[in-house]
Structure 1
Amino acid sequence: MVETSTSPWRFNHHRIDIKRWIPTYFSSHKTLFTVLWIVGFASVFIWQRNIVDGFLIFRWSVPVRPLPTLRPVAFNLTDFGGVGDGVTLNTEAFERAVSAISKLGKRGGGQLNVPAGYWLTAPFNLTSHMTLFLAEDAVILGIDDEKYWPLMPPLPSYGYGREHSGPRYGSLIHGQNLKDVVITGHNGTINGQGQTWWKKYRQKLLNHTRGPLVQIMWSSDIVISNITLRDSPFWTLHPYDCKNVTVRNVTILAPIFEAPNTDGIDPDSCEDMVIEDCYISVGDDAIAIKSGWDQYGIAYGRPSMNILIRNLVVRSMVSAGISIGSEMSGGVSNVTIENLHVWNSRRAVRIKTSPGRGGYVRHITYRNLTFDNVRVGIVIKTDYNEHPDDNFDRQAFPTLEDISYTSIHGQGVRVPVRIHGSEEIPVRNVTFRDMSVGITYKKKHIFQCAFVQGRVIGTIFPAPCENLDRYDEQEQLVKHSDSQNMTDIDYDF
């Protein structure tokens, strides 16, 4: 009979032998020192394996994170002939993969995995019920030769290519009339290689408006998360007339100078959108909420509404951290911007419009903003006179009202507030509460106002302009302003 179990006596006897063996083995101080030295020496090499090249015997590759399956069916780009060498053009591989996924809608769609590597491609379209997953160290590279970029009609709410009349270049990754689209990954990158585009734009060598990096149009249920977008030829992420959009844990990068119009995220006539937990440093507005341009936007009539922006760190040395406008002719309402840190920027938060825009900006809430080394903190500008053509209605004056700023703090700010309303476009019902901003220019022109009506609740720093009513912390009126139309605007500061 074969015995398959171990008795308690045998286990205890084995444990006693070990106890006798350990002291015997380490009875020599020299042996103990040698063991400790080897362990410590090996630990140093293990710690440094990702910092410098050591001896190959001590190096090993970091395990690759497995790709999650987020759809019933998953493909790899290499299944369709993709080659990630940074040289081979993979447009057809992407197109074949998207075509295969388009047939899986009734089964819940499909996932396209882009493995580590450099995947050069011309623009391609997405499909509904699709997840585009970029693995760690995966980089989708946009080809920088404009002959590969298709031309598309102008956006209907712009009537103009934005930079040139007529057609515009499409986006690197594009989609229209889609539902249930996810772009995500292990922080893989979509790189538009915009350097060539920026140079040609500055040299006036382009005959059409540059294309965005990612543009989704007339679509719903869109999620973009855990990726890096960089060096777009034009606007980086442009959801146009979309509903139910989430952008989360996204890094967006472009040079802070000489990368023209590389806005980070431009919600355009979008409804029910969340942007959160992102880092954006670009060559124009980090975020610009839009809804069409002059008479074209008025006719299209699709507002941007119900937008939540929170937990962001942003930088813009050329424009602003968060902008609304200037193309806001379809209207912008119900926007909340909270937990925002703007650093080393020209402006922090801005609303910009002009006569001819029409539309409205209303019910805008700013809460818990931090400005760090910003030239101008809060801006409302009503003379941003840039138009698609001369056919705009010069009597189409936008409405600006119900805008609140609460818990505004920071340091190194030259002009904390500049609200430049006008006789035709007054700014109504603006509220300031809990504001303390360290300033770098203390003589005058600190809190600038013109044609603005509103109130200050409690004590704020710096002292507000005389245009605003004063209330105590219990919101009881202390002093009513009799000079709402007073002008103290100085663009030299």
Structure 2
Amino acid sequence: MFKEFEWNQKLYDSIEKKVNENIINFENMDKYNIEDEKYKKFISDVEEVYLTHPDGPYKGDKKELKNDKEYISKSLIKNIQIVKYYGDVIQKAIDDANKNGGGKVIIPGGTKEEPKIYYSGSITLKSNVELYIEENAIIKFLRNKSNRFYPLVYTRWEGVEMMNFSPFIYSYEAENIAISGKGVLDGCADEFNWMPWKFGYFNEEDQQIQRERLFNLGQENACVRTRRIFNDEISTIRPPFIQPYKSKNILIKDITILNSPFWEVNPVLCENIKIDSITVDSHLYNNDGVDPESCRDMIIENCHFTTGDDCIAIKSGRNNEGRNIGVPSQNIIIRNNKFEDGHGGITIGSEISGGVNDIFAHDNYFDSSELDYPIRFKTNAERGGKLENIYVKNSVVNKSKIAVIHADFFYEEGTNGNYMPILRNITLSNIKTVEGGSIDANNALFLKGFKDAPIENILIEDVYLNGVKGDAVLQNIKGIGFKNVSINNKRIDDKIIDVENDFRVKEYSFQ
């Protein structure tokens, strides 16, 4: 039986209240400036090791790099430069602030013409500390793929726990932490540094071997601290940029993130998180913008995304790992963001085995000319997961090459598994094509469930889309309702339909 699923304002207000009440203001706390005299002795000269190509930077479109067999077959050249290393300084200031009850660690800025640059390895945030990067300050993270600068820590990668390179900024069981300021965090990843591991280009190792090993260990429930150790002698697993782990009361505000080796902002098992007015500009493989995993009570607002993958991807663990930990992502508000570039706008999955519920997305602008899907759900019979109570409203779509809303249970493993996903209670309301524009979409809707696990209770209301090339693709849907919907200036009758496995349609009226 179809049931209209309405916006839950009471829950929305409670999420907003809880997050804002738990974010700490550091303005009246002690300041720890890393250029103070007491920290100068911790500055050192180190060798940064980085790789370049014998023929120089790739002159074509980087998307075509994989097809240039001659170029990617050449081995890279190892280079060394001496840099002033501030990693120990930054960590010492954080440790001091934490030991003294809390404080604000300041990374001073220069001028627009001459910004101050600070080379660092991984930074571990601790409770009651704000890392404040001033405008015209840049923290550049060394390209050395070494545990000296990125020590082994307990982390999660593609939904599976492991001991691996530390994320560039990391916390573990911390509370009341912040990363803020108008400065820049530059991961310094490029097609020659960190990225070759994705496919094994330039005779570098291919991450697929270690990736499969990790996933198998996850399926076996192998001990993380004794058996899932991927040190720098073997690891080809690229670390995320920012990963608070089992932490709470987190603010990430105003910063700009560039050139990440992997996902950009990836809180795991965290609560009370606010991400406000950050800019993500990183176009490499798997450069998702914000990926909350098994998190609750979170606000993502006023952000600007230009990414090489999904702008926001909500996750909760992969396969057995996600089911055993059993912590969903829930109570997340996504508002007033601009998705300028990326494959998916707001994606749920595919590492989704712990489930997702109660997501509120509104007043977002999907602007990317490369956007495949503004709203996407990715799961299958191996991931499983219960995905429910998803609200999307008051948003504008410029382009959407494949579909405005896309849900496909046949992703990757498809039907090969014993964990039927549940996807239900989704409302799209007041979604429009940019005025005078054309989204150039193959379909307005692409929704394919399983015969034994149909997609349930979808309401499409006050939706106006122009530039849709083909019909909707619907399979195994138990209740999709259309109210005041127009596609290519043609009004669709208000109705409810069920779609069977063989695409047979049953039509109903709203009561």
Same fold (TM over 0.5): yes
- 8 Å CA contact 2:477, 2:499 repeated in 1: no
Give the Cα–Cα distance (whole angstroms) in 1 for the partners of residues 488 and 387 of structure 2.
26
Give the Cα–Cα distance (whole angstroms) in 1 for the partners of residues 359 and 184 of structure 2.
29
CA-CA distance at 1:77 after TM superposition:
1.0
CA-CA distance at 1:151 after TM superposition:
2.9
Hey, what does 1:328 align to over in structure 2? 352
Write out aligned runs for 1:316-355 (5 A). Answer: 316-317=341-342, 319-343=343-367, 344=369, 345-355=371-381
CA-CA distance at 1:153 after TM superposition:
4.5
* Correspondence 1:174 to 2:170: yes
- 8 Å CA contact 2:44, 2:85 repeated in 1: no
Taking a change above 3 Å as real, the CA distance of residues 151 and 260 of structure 1, as seen in their structure-2 partners, is: same
1:411-435 residue CA offsets vs partner (Å, 9 max, x unmatched): 3232221111121331000110011
* Correspondence 1:208 to 2:236: yes
Write out aligned runs for 1:28-107 (5 A). Answer: 70-79=27-36, 80-81=39-40, 87-105=83-101
Taking a change above 3 Å as real, the CA distance of residues 230 and 412 of structure 1, as seen in their structure-2 partners, is: same
SS at match of 1:459: strand
* Correspondence 1:151 to 2:152: yes
Hey, what does 2:476 align to over in structure 1? 451
Hey, what does 1:312 align to over in structure 2? 337
Taking a change above 3 Å as real, the CA distance of residues 487 and 231 of structure 1, as seen in their structure-2 partners, is: farther
Taking a change above 3 Å as real, the CA distance of residues 405 and 482 of structure 1, as seen in their structure-2 partners, is: closer
- 8 Å CA contact 1:212, 1:238 repeated in 2: yes
Higher relative contact order (CA 8 A, sep 6+): 2
- 8 Å CA contact 2:278, 2:302 repeated in 1: yes
SS at match of 2:285: coil
- Segments of 5+ residues of structure 2 without an aligned counterpart are 1-24, 46-81, 110-115, 208-234, 505-511
1:193-231 residue CA offsets vs partner (Å, 9 max, x unmatched): 111111343325253311111110001100111111111
CA-CA distance at 1:439 after TM superposition:
1.2
- 8 Å CA contact 1:156, 1:300 repeated in 2: no
SS at match of 1:425: coil
SS at match of 1:296: helix
CA-CA distance at 1:296 after TM superposition:
0.8
Hey, what does 2:120 align to over in structure 1? 121
Residue 262 (structure 2) aligned to one of 227, 234, 240: 234
Give the Cα–Cα distance (whole angstroms) in 2 for the partners of residues 291 and 223 of structure 1.
21
- Segments of 5+ residues of structure 1 without an aligned counterpart are 1-67, 162-166, 472-478, 489-493
- 8 Å CA contact 2:32, 2:103 repeated in 1: yes
Give the Cα–Cα distance (whole angstroms) in 2 for the partners of residues 84 and 446 of structure 1.
62
TM-score (norm 2): 0.72
SS at match of 1:262: coil
Give the Cα–Cα distance (whole angstroms) in 2 for the partners of residues 412 and 463 of structure 1.
10
The one-letter code sitting in structure 1 at the alignment partner of 2:151 is P
Hey, what does 2:304 align to over in structure 1? 279
SS at match of 2:486: coil
Give the Cα–Cα distance (whole angstroms) in 2 for the partners of residues 295 and 92 of structure 1.
38
- 8 Å CA contact 2:373, 2:401 repeated in 1: yes
Residue 326 (structure 2) aligned to one of 270, 277, 301: 301
- 8 Å CA contact 2:133, 2:183 repeated in 1: yes
The one-letter code sitting in structure 2 at the alignment partner of 1:113 is I
1:418-476 residue CA offsets vs partner (Å, 9 max, x unmatched): 111121331000110011111152xxx33211111223343312289xxx9x64xxxxx
CA-CA distance at 1:192 after TM superposition:
0.6
Give the Cα–Cα distance (whole angstroms) in 2 for the partners of residues 157 and 142 of structure 1.
22
Hey, what does 1:188 align to over in structure 2? 183
Give the Cα–Cα distance (whole angstroms) in 1 for the partners of residues 92 and 499 of structure 2.
66
Task: Please tell me whether Structure 1 or Structure 2 has the larger radius of gyration of its CA atoms.
Answer: 1
CA-CA distance at 1:122 after TM superposition:
0.7
- 8 Å CA contact 1:269, 1:303 repeated in 2: yes
Taking a change above 3 Å as real, the CA distance of residues 462 and 84 of structure 1, as seen in their structure-2 partners, is: farther
Taking a change above 3 Å as real, the CA distance of residues 283 and 458 of structure 1, as seen in their structure-2 partners, is: same
Give the Cα–Cα distance (whole angstroms) in 1 for the partners of residues 44 and 301 of structure 2.
31
Give the Cα–Cα distance (whole angstroms) in 2 for the partners of residues 249 and 159 of structure 1.
29
Write out aligned runs for 1:401-412 (5 A). Answer: 401-410=424-433, 411-412=438-439
Residue 407 (structure 2) aligned to one of 380, 388, 393: 380
Hey, what does 2:79 align to over in structure 1? none
SS at match of 2:336: strand
* Correspondence 1:481 to 2:505: no
Hey, what does 1:3 align to over in structure 2? none
Taking a change above 3 Å as real, the CA distance of residues 73 and 332 of structure 1, as seen in their structure-2 partners, is: same
- 8 Å CA contact 1:447, 1:462 repeated in 2: no
Taking a change above 3 Å as real, the CA distance of residues 157 and 416 of structure 1, as seen in their structure-2 partners, is: closer
Instruction: Provide the aligned C-alpha RMSD in A.
Output: 2.7
The one-letter code sitting in structure 1 at the alignment partner of 2:323 is I
The one-letter code sitting in structure 1 at the alignment partner of 2:86 is N
The one-letter code sitting in structure 2 at the alignment partner of 1:150 is P
- 8 Å CA contact 2:246, 2:268 repeated in 1: yes
The one-letter code sitting in structure 2 at the alignment partner of 1:140 is I
* Correspondence 1:142 to 2:137: no
CA-CA distance at 1:103 after TM superposition:
1.0
Give the Cα–Cα distance (whole angstroms) in 2 for the partners of residues 452 and 394 of structure 1.
20
1:317-365 residue CA offsets vs partner (Å, 9 max, x unmatched): 4x30110001111110000111111121122110110001232100000
Give the Cα–Cα distance (whole angstroms) in 2 for the partners of residues 435 and 77 of structure 1.
52
CA-CA distance at 1:154 after TM superposition:
5.4
Select between 357-366 and 194-203 the one with higher mean Cα deviation. Answer: 194-203
Give the Cα–Cα distance (whole angstroms) in 2 for the partners of residues 287 and 123 of structure 1.
24
Hey, what does 1:38 align to over in structure 2? none
Taking a change above 3 Å as real, the CA distance of residues 156 and 189 of structure 1, as seen in their structure-2 partners, is: closer
SS at match of 1:88: strand
Give the Cα–Cα distance (whole angstroms) in 2 for the partners of residues 245 and 77 of structure 1.
26
Taking a change above 3 Å as real, the CA distance of residues 154 and 197 of structure 1, as seen in their structure-2 partners, is: same
SS at match of 1:299: helix
Taking a change above 3 Å as real, the CA distance of residues 417 and 220 of structure 1, as seen in their structure-2 partners, is: same
Taking a change above 3 Å as real, the CA distance of residues 144 and 481 of structure 1, as seen in their structure-2 partners, is: same
SS at match of 1:145: coil
Taking a change above 3 Å as real, the CA distance of residues 484 and 393 of structure 1, as seen in their structure-2 partners, is: closer
The one-letter code sitting in structure 2 at the alignment partner of 1:433 is E
* Correspondence 1:265 to 2:290: yes
Taking a change above 3 Å as real, the CA distance of residues 155 and 69 of structure 1, as seen in their structure-2 partners, is: closer
Give the Cα–Cα distance (whole angstroms) in 2 for the partners of residues 70 and 486 of structure 1.
62
* Correspondence 1:398 to 2:421: yes
1:257-295 residue CA offsets vs partner (Å, 9 max, x unmatched): xx1111100010000000000001110100000000011
Q: Which runs of 4+ in 1 moved over 6 A?
A: 82-86
Hey, what does 1:110 align to over in structure 2? 103
SS at match of 1:102: helix
